[in-house]
Structure 1
Amino acid sequence: MLAPARPRKLSKVPFVELADGRLQGVVSSGSDAGRVYVSSVAVGSYEFACSTNNNRPCGGARGNFCNHIGALVTEAVLQYGAERVARYLRVEVAAEEEVTADSILRATWKARPPQGDTSAAAVVFSQFLRHLAYLELAPTTTAVPEMQWFPPTRVVA
């Protein structure tokens, strides 16, 4: 288990992951506190998608990365580190350029990514809701069966 590269503010991007061949996550709306966007960028092709949790398309993602995808990449870099995100997405940043969220976005945009299918939005949002459910569990010292795959950090005697 890797520690985050730097602490993140969860209010803007509460969920980000490198999974299922995508950088994907949930991004809060800047204008409506009750709305979130499910955004993703595909590995290799950089095909992107952004839609609300109600599967309405993002108005800013029309032929270009929207601000939600920019925020997702920025938070992924904070969570996983720029090199790991670039490696996962198979992004080749120019040799003279430092690997950052901005350089990753520039490199993916140079490839002219197509707007993708939003069908994965439901799966990503479900994963986010499942993670939120763990916050509602009462504190306990007994094992939670679905979390058995987490490595133990220390043994309490």
Structure 2
Amino acid sequence: MERPIFQPVGTPVEELDTPALVVDLDLMERNIQAYHGYVDGTPVTIRPVVTSHLCPQVARRQLAAVAARGIAATTLGEAEVFAASGFADILVANQIVTASKIRRLCALASQARVSVAVDSAANVAQLSAAANSAGVELGVLVEIEAGTGRCGIAPDAEAVALSHAP
């Protein structure tokens, strides 16, 4: 795998190798501040999703803007990269269901505080058994189906029951 090449701020675009993340830093800072402004003065905490930029430097700026709880990644691989970059509180915002990925999730939980989305009691049981076996703790959040028909559990009594799963 090719390693990323970092160019200093101000490098002419013609000198950048592709793919390259090119950011208007002033606009990014304004967007970060606007995003955090939605929760300023409220008890709400936010967790920036890093999937759109996949850049630890951007995520650090997002976290510095407000007392956020941590970051959210879409995939286990993303979470592993951010943990290796020093992020200590990571939500994997999708279900992790295969045995090999559950082992990787538990290994990650030995390096950082890790939470994962769940939408079934069977998955909770898999995660619990693997975490106990690995001697780690995993946080779980019940994913509620938000009307897209993609994933999550209906916001009804079944979701409440899942939130109490052992």
The TM tier, using the shorter chain, reads under 0.3
TM-score, normalization by structure 2: 0.25
Higher helix share: 2
Q: Does 1 or 2 have the higher relative contact order (CA < 8 Å, sep 6+)?
A: 1
TM-score, normalization by structure 1: 0.26
Higher strand share: 1
Which structure is larger by alpha-carbon Rg, 1 or 2? 2
